[in-house]
Amino acid sequence: MLFAILFFMLMSFFLSGSETALTAVNKMKVHSRAENDDKKSLKLLKLISKPDQLITSILIGNNIANIMLPTLVTMIAIEYGWNVGVATGILTVVLIVFAEVLPKTIAATFADKIAYIVAPVIRLLIIILKPVTFLISRFTNMVIRLISKGEVQEATLSKEELKTMVDIAYAEGTFRNEETMRIKGAIDFYSMDVRDALKTPRIDMIGIPINSTFEETRNTIMNNRYTRYPIYKGDIDNIVGVFHSKRLLEWSMEPKKKLENFIDKQPLFVVESTAIEKVFKMMLKEKKHLAVVLDEYGGTMGMITHEDIIEAMIGQEIEDETDIEDEVLIYELTDSYMICHGRLLIYRLNEAFKIKLPEDTDILAGFILKELEHIPVEGETFEYHHLHFEILEMDRNKIIKVKIIKKTHS
């Protein structure tokens, strides 16, 4: 009888550990190894891909062991005249420690290794208990269908949970910051709209009037670094086309011709609330590299390009030969203060100055305007938590230079 007690103790130990190991094993690693034709991984993946069958078989085996143990201990206690209550209490402590806590702790710590070891035995257990598990699974599935009737089953992994996993991987050193930003950008891509990717607001647009001469158009292009320019009639709210700078050479052969002969007269218009995924598909379909963004009143809000959308998707800026090299947005930086441009991205500011400003606005100027709720003037200051902000330079309504000081706690 003592051998029977020892057998059921080991059985409970093994099954408790197996349950934890097989549910905690890294499924992505197993799947990756299985794709590389690893036979053990293929068998393990097949086993863990049916969790209801797996858990049911383990629970049946574990319950058999846990029911038999107190029965045997009670029989021994009666036979030898021991106190049944004391014997049962001792067994309870032993079960908790050696059949629950210890095996599950070990299995959780070495889940990947133990899962491969226990898989063949558990596979055999499933085959032996198949008739019982089949009947129980049918019954439980029927109950679940009755309870969840009409309800949509939730995804096993939400976007927020996936982003949390990426943050954990970054904190543990698995991903670099750039990789983290790219993954999060790809995850959020389908929920972003034009406002999230807009890099050229109306105030920064360089347009060309439709009645411009060859010389005027050439001067505008030579003084700027852009490839495409919106063409407007009257004002920037009435955009009638897009001019590609490469056509300037063609126009130079016949400079007396009008600008309208060289423009794309069917510009792509989108509204600010349009999903950038949809805008990207529209650009690909219509072979456009630029779209004019309209506000709710039909006026021009800004422009969005292929590059802007890709940058939003990968969470990283793309530089080409037309970009200004090493554009300075941080003028001075120390441990206690920094002087920077209003266009500095919030996440870059947080990284450089080791602070945590909210990232619900893209650039520093947006954060300042949100906090002040008005257009600031030069010399204006305000406080935000332990930070002191001072507006050093303005260009009309643009915030050009800001000084941020970390206040020391005395």
Same domain, 208 and 244: yes
Same domain, 369 and 292: no
Tell me if 320 is assigned to some domain. Answer: no
Tell me if 325 is assigned to some domain. Answer: no
Tell me if 321 is assigned to some domain. Answer: no
- Residue 300: which H helix or E strand, with range? strand 300-305
Tell me if 85 is assigned to some domain. Answer: yes
Tell me if 170 is assigned to some domain. Answer: yes
- Mean pLDDT score across all residues of the chain: 86
On whether the CB atoms of residues 282 and 268 are closer than 8 A, the answer is: yes
Tell me if 128 is assigned to some domain. Answer: yes
On whether the CB atoms of residues 369 and 380 are closer than 8 A, the answer is: no
Chain centre to alpha carbon of residue 373: 31
Which structural domain, as residue segments, surrounds residue 399? Answer: 330-406
Same domain, 22 and 122: yes
- Residue 381: which H helix or E strand, with range? strand 381-384
Which pLDDT score, from 0 to 100, does residue 320 have?
59
pLDDT confidence band for 326 (50 / 70 / 90): very low
The DSSP bridge pattern shows strands 200-201 and 300-305 to be: antiparallel
Structure tokens at 54: 């797996």
Instruction: Output the pTM of the full model.
Output: 0.53
Which pLDDT score, from 0 to 100, does residue 176 have?
80
Which range, 12-16, 51-55, 79-83, is most confident?
12-16
161-213 residue pLDDT tens: 787 888 888 887 777 877 787 787 778 778 888 888 888 888 888 999 999 99
Number of helices (H) and strands (E) in the chain: give both, helices first.
Answer: 17, 12
Distance CA 299, CA 236 (A): 8
Which pLDDT score, from 0 to 100, does residue 152 have?
47
Structure tokens at 333: 């930086």
- Residue 394: which H helix or E strand, with range? strand 387-395
Number of independent structural domains in the chain: 4
Same domain, 208 and 275: yes
On whether the CB atoms of residues 308 and 290 are closer than 8 A, the answer is: no
Same domain, 395 and 352: yes
DSSP string, 353-367: HT-----SSSBHHHH
Same domain, 26 and 122: yes
On whether the CB atoms of residues 303 and 292 are closer than 8 A, the answer is: yes
Structure tokens at 12: 């409970």
Tell me if 153 is assigned to some domain. Answer: no
Task: Give me the mean pLDDT over the 357-376 stretch.
Answer: 88
